Amino acid sequence: MAASACDESDLRLLKDAGLRWYRSSSAAERGFCKHCGSSLFWRPDNEPHISIMAGTLDVPTGLKAFEHIYVNSASDYYVIDDGLPRFEEDSVPGGVT
């Protein structure tokens, strides 16, 4: 999965009629499309940012990868050889999943 993030105060939705939130853990919730089930957002509790699934953004996105997280969970069909920093878990110590 590829995701971007921003401060939640910087995110402006033009419409949210199909957006639904699901508490996916005791520390975060996920936003998804109520019509097709596509994952759109991930929002941790007690943190000011929101993750945005990169595949939902129109091109050109201007996004660039800067790290890989949870590489210990990657399946054998993933080849991560682009020289970017790699983290077995989250890059933020004590990060929220």
**pLDDT band per the 50, 70, 90 thresholds, residue 96:** very low
Architecture of domain 3-61: Beta Complex (2.170)
**pLDDT band per the 50, 70, 90 thresholds, residue 97:** very low
Q: Which two tokens stand for residue 89?
A: 């878990």
Question: Contact 55/2 with Cβ under 8 angstroms?
Answer: yes
Q: How many CB atoms lie within 10 A of CB 58?
A: 5
Domain spans in the chain, listed from the N-terminal domain onward: 3-61, 62-92
- The 28-33 sheet, strands edge to edge: 3-7, 49-53, 39-44, 28-33, 19-23
pLDDT digits (tens, 9 = 90+) for 39-58: 999 999 999 999 999 999 99
Residue type, 93: P
pTM score, whole prediction = 0.78
